[in-house]
Structure formats: structure tokens, C-alpha cells
Structure 1
Amino acid sequence: MKYFNRHFLEQLAQGRLSDKEKEEFRLWLKKAHHKTQQKWLDTFEKVQTENVNIDNIPDLQSPTFQNQKNDFRKWWVAAALILVFLTAGVLYFNLEPSQQIQYFSGAEQSKVFLSDSTEVNINQNGRISVLYTKELRQIELEGEASFKVTRNENRPLVVKTEEINTTVLGTEFNIKQSNKGIQISLKEGSVKITQDGYTQKLEPNEKWFWDRKTNNYLLLSFESADFKEVRFENEPLPDVLDFLEWQYDIDLQYDMRQYENCSISITINEMALKEVLDVISFVNKISFNPINENQYVLSGRCN
């Protein structure tokens, strides 16, 4: 069987299959026994996530098929496999399973359409786990993804990221996780963020940040939905510094007590980092002393 050898797995992993070969594989996979499907999923994901050499993967055993038309597990495993293998394209998923199904984007961004027409764009190396029932729409996210959620007031969608839940009825938003924490930006509609008794509702053009290290929250309103410009009007300087760490992926080291009573008014758009730091230095008489390309130590006292 041509699908059960290292050569085919290598072509699949490197994206060298034609559209016709992908379709033939998809049709074959839908008929395979769920144990066969799961074996393929485990093998392929091992190659993708652990960089296992193809030559070290043994040929899989010949497949077994089953005739039961209503074998539910066969269908949901097949759906997960098809999505994992064909991430280069646009995927449509039309089932409403009661089991969780995982989608992994790999090295390329993946677009997924769920059964309610909700669109999920998963960024590189991102992963979602989807659970849809008659009462519930739930997605667990690792990494970064953008969502265009089909409105359903009777069945809100909940996106789980670590200990933070984002609840939506129908909207367009983005969630990004990093070592620093989590940021959520809203383009349309509204979302509600909850964490251990904390609740925050977002409006369009707002971006919310949670700092993992300090457990602090920051909410900013941008000028438009492209999130390219934000205006600070007499805002606490530490809030602006927090935003800079997120926006430019830098680490600013300073004594919070020294700057907690400082404030600043500044508009930040697509400016280079040096330009922003120069403005803050001039206005507040603060020096940003570089340790390396991404780390700075602050010195001086603000006006």
C-alpha cells in the first residue's frame, strides 16, 4: 500500500504532493480503521514536532478497513488527520463531534473553517483543540490564532488560553501567547475576558495585555482596527513601558517605585524603537542604557 511507506510520509511532510494525490489520500483515509488513522497521526506529528529523521520511521503495517457506516470515532480521527496533513490549504470541517479534535499548523499558517462557519487562522506552530456540542463551543489555544466567530447568542464560543478564558457571541479578534504573557486584540463585536474573578470586556479597536511575571493587566484603545497607532494622554509611564515591551519584544529593567508617579503623553504608531525611546528620553529625562539588542536598563528621574 503506497500510503504506508517512508517515501510517501516524506512527500507529505515536505508538501510535495499534488492536489490530486492529496484528494486520493483524503478519500483513502476516510475509509481506514480508526487505529490506522491514529497511527498515522502519531507518526506524522512526531516527525513534525520532534524533527525525527524520516529514515528512522519504520514502514507502518498494512491498513485495515471497516464497514460500519456509523463508526463515529473513525470520522473524527479522520477529520483530525486530514487537517494535520493538508495544512497548506484551506480546510472545511462539517461535523459536530462530542470529542475534542486537535489542529496543528506546523511551519505554515493554517486556515480552518469549523462546522458553524467560524474561521480560525492558526499562526506558525500553533495548535487548537476544538470541542463542539449542542450546548457548547469551546477552543483551547496554544500559540497565536485569529478568529472570525459566527454569531450564536444561545451558544457562545469560549477560547481557553492557560488560565484565561475569552467568551464571544460573534466577533473578530486575535489571541497571542508568548513567554511574556497573553495579548488579545478585538476588531469587531465584543469579547469578555475572565481570570480568577477578574473580568474585562473589550470593545472594537481595543487591545488587552496580561503580564505573566507581574500578573498585571493593561487595556489600550487604538485609533483603528489595524492596531498601528495608539495614543497615550497623560498616562502612567510604567503603562507605556509595558506596552513597549509587548510591541517591540524588548525587556526594560527599572525600579517601579522610581517611576510610578511619572506620566507621559505620546502617540506611538509604526515608529522605530529608537525613535520612541528618544522621545521618551527627551520628554522625561530618562536614559535607556542597552545591555544587548533587546534589553535596556533605565536610569535618571522623570520631570
Structure 2
Amino acid sequence: MEKVENKIERIIAKSFKGELDSKEQDFLDQWISMSQENKRKFGIYEKLWKRSGELLLSNTIDIEQSLLKTKKRIPDFRFKRRTRFGNFRVAAVFILAMGLGFLINYLLGGNDLIDGTPQIVYQEVRASYGTRTKLILADGTNVWLNSGSTLKFPIDFDNVEERAVELNGEGYFDVTKNESKPFIVNTSGLDVKVYGTSFNVSAYEEYDSMEVALVEGKVSLVQGVKGDRKEYMVLNPNDVVECNISEKRLSRISDSKMNKYTSWKDGQMIFYGDPIAKVVSRLEKWYNVDIEIRDKALENYRFTATFNDESLEQVLKLLSLSSPMEYNIVASTKQNDDSFSRRQVILSIKK
């Protein structure tokens, strides 16, 4: 039978990879709550993992064994000062076992640069196509990432004046209030500045527009850096603002149906009288496909529907039943580098 110590070490390692099932999660939660010592040990493990700076490691690296070997090199799980040679050996374990490239001084607990300026270390999380990912930032802010989206963020907000993160894609934010440290979502278009609120941002870099939908609280659309930042618009609850980036044009509406903009985090796609262009952009990201609107006449049609985990074929079939649209799905093809192209969908008017 597996020893409790070995089991908890294995489960802790799996928890950092997001691979726990419900029983393992319950076991971990119970173990942490049993004593302050268990809680402390888990905190040390968590710090080691966060300081690795790598959420996506090579598949050839055995993350569980690397974490356990690293733990064994640190007596009683404590960060202690050692001789210069000992410090180098601990850092080498991190670098070789986990494929890291951080400074030895940072791994040992210091996070200052040589000139004494605080160093900000970032992590990056990506939601694979067809999936959604939830994460909790160091300040307690909850973030949901939609399919194909990426968020870059500091591992903590201790040495910053603003809690700035960088989004490429779509994210729903439930921001922890902190009036002394505003929360900034940087995108390829405008930035979103908040102090504590819930809102949705859709800002994929490959599209020429971005959209912000405010659920509650107050946010402003800004551009520039602290001390030289221009404010373009302040949003109130139920406000939805679309920004045409190339034309530098903002348009605002008030929409009480906010679930249309936020339901994706619960696995739904909802359309309320949306034009085909809006439907296409959502489907492309959700199913990782390229969609071509072959007939411009389709741009005159609007669609209302709710989808719950249907396949691409099912969604297209349902949309075609409510309009004169027909579709053709072109299968993926193998490329010269042995990768496969994305499937292509061609939309046209029924003959």
C-alpha cells in the first residue's frame, strides 16, 4: 500500500499541473487542514513551483520526480543560507531537473537585481483550443481564459504600483478590490483599468477589434503608461464597448443580456441577434478552425441560439436550419513539417 507521505507528495505535484480528480483534491484539502505544519509544507512546495516560472514544461521532464528530488535537497523544507558551493548545488538542481533559466540568487529567495531594483517575474498560462481555464492570481483575483487565449501575469504584486497583466484572447475577470493598486489588463488595443469589479474582455491580436463587457463595478478604457495615461471612456454595469483598433473608433451599447458575453466560461455559446461575422469569430476560436464567408449575402442575417458543448458539425447544422446558409468542412491536411493545417469551413448561400 502506498505510504501516506509518498501519496501526498505525488498528489501535491499533480495539483500544480491541474491533474487532480475530485477524490485526490478532497484528500489534499483534508491533509492541508489537519495541521499548521502540513499547511506550511504545502506553502513551501507552492513557492518552489511558482519560482520555477514554467507552467508548461517539456513532456520529457518527470515533473513529480523533479519536485521530490528538489525537496530532498532542502532540510526540513526550509530556505536556509548555505555555503556558496551549497547554494550553487541547490540552484543546479532546479535548473537541471526543471529546465529553468533563472538566476541562482532568485531561486534561493532573493528577488532583487544587482542594482537593488525589484525584479518582476512573470508566468504565462494558455487555454488550449476547445478548452477553458480558470486561475487565481496572487491577489485573489479570479480569471477565466477562453479557448486559444493567453494571460501573462506577475507571480506576485508585492513590488509593483499597479497589478498589470497582459491578455491575448478572451478573459473574464473577477478582480479583488485594492484602491491603492489598480488592476490593468493590457491588450493589443486599449487597456482596461479597474479597482475591483467583474468584466469580460475579448481582444485576440489577430482581430482588428476588441470588446469589453462590464458585469458589475466600474472600469475605464485607457492607453499609455502610469503618469502619462489617457482615459477614453468610463463604463458602467451592462455597458458593452467595441473598439475598432485600426479606425480608433469606440462604440457603446447597454445590454441587459450579459450572459451573452460571459456564458462561455460555463461552457455555453449564446447568440442574440448577432451578425454572421460575430458568430464566425466565436466559432473559429472555440473549435480551432478557419471559416470563410463565401457569399456576402450572409452578412444580412442575424442569429439567435444557445449551444452547450455541441460539436462543430452540430452547430453548423443548427445554424443552417434557421437560415439559407450551407456549409462545407474541408479536412486538415498534412504539412511539410509533419504538422496538420486547421480545418476550414466554407459558408455560402444554399443553391
TM-score normalised by length of structure 1: 0.55
Residue 69 of structure 2 corresponds to residue 15 of structure 1 = no
With 14-23 and 252-261 compared, the bigger mean Cα shift is at: 14-23
RMSD of equivalent CA atoms: 5.7
Q: Supply the distance in 2 between the matched residues of 1:25 and 1:184 (Cα, whole angstroms).
A: 48
1:157 CA drift (Å): 0.9
Q: Cα–Cα, structure 1 residues 215 and 41, in superposed 2: closer, same or farther, change >3 Å?
A: farther
Note if contact 2:94-2:100 (Cα within 8 Å) is conserved in structure 1. no
1: distance between equivalents of 2:280 and 2:324? 14
Gaps of 5+ in 1: 1-9, 50-59, 65-70, 79-96
Partner of 1:55: none
Structure 1 residues 53-132: aligned runs within 5 Å: 75-76=110-111, 98-103=118-123, 114=138, 116-118=139-141, 127-129=152-154, 132=158
CA distance in 1, matches of 2:184, 2:136: 17
Task: Give the drift of 1:277.
Answer: 0.8
Cα distance in 2, alignment partners of residues 149 and 30 from structure 1: 37
Percent identity between matched residues is 21
Separation in 2, partners of 1:25, 1:121: 36
Q: Which residue of 2 aligns with 1:7?
A: none
> Mean Cα displacement is larger for which, 270-279 or 138-147?
138-147
Q: Check if 1:299 corresponds to 2:348.
A: yes
Q: Which whole-Å CA distance do the structure 1 matches of 2:121 and 2:180 have between them?
A: 22
Pair 1:169-2:218 in alignment: no
When residues 126 and 244 of structure 1 are mapped into structure 2, their CA distance, relative to the original with a 3 A threshold, is closer
Displacement of 1:287: 1.4
Q: What is the CA-CA distance between 1:238 and the residue it aligns to?
A: 2.2
**Secondary structure class of the residue paired with 1:155:** coil
Query: Could you say which residue in structure 2 is the equivalent of 1:54?
Result: none
Match of 1:139 in 2: 165
Does the CA contact (< 8 Å) of 1:237 and 1:260 recur in 2? Answer: yes
**CA 1:217/1:40 → structure 2, altered by over 3 Å: closer, same or farther?**
farther
Deviation at 1:23, TM superposition (A): 5.8
Is the Cα–Cα contact under 8 Å of residues 213 and 258 in structure 2 kept in the other structure? no
Residue 242 of structure 1 aligns with which residue? 281
Secondary structure at the counterpart of residue 64 of structure 2 = coil
Shift in alpha-carbon separation, 1:32–1:40, aligned structure 2, 3 A: farther
Structure 2 residue aligned with 1:283: 322
CA-CA distance at 1:177 after TM superposition: 7.6
**What are the ranges of 5 or more consecutive residues in structure 2 without an aligned counterpart?**
1-57, 128-132, 225-230, 333-342
Count of aligned positions: 252
Aligned-pair CA distance for 1:128: 2.5
Moved more, 116-125 or 151-160: 116-125
Per the TM alignment, residue 241 of structure 1 is displaced from its structure 2 partner at its CA by 2.2
TM-score (norm 2): 0.49
The 5 Å alignment of 1:247-258 reads: 247-255=286-294, 257-258=296-297
C-alpha deviations, 1:177-231, integer Å up to 9, x for none?
A: 8675588787765554556987584858x99998999999999832675443444
Q: Write the letter of the residue equivalent to 2:347.
A: L
| Partner amino acid, structure 2, of 1:153 | E
Maintained 8 Å contact 1:222/1:229: no
Name the SS of the counterpart of 1:238 in structure 2.
helix
| Deviations, residues 41-86 of structure 1 (Å, cap 9, x unaligned) | 994699369xxxxxxxxxx9xx89xxxxxx9x962269xxxxxxxx
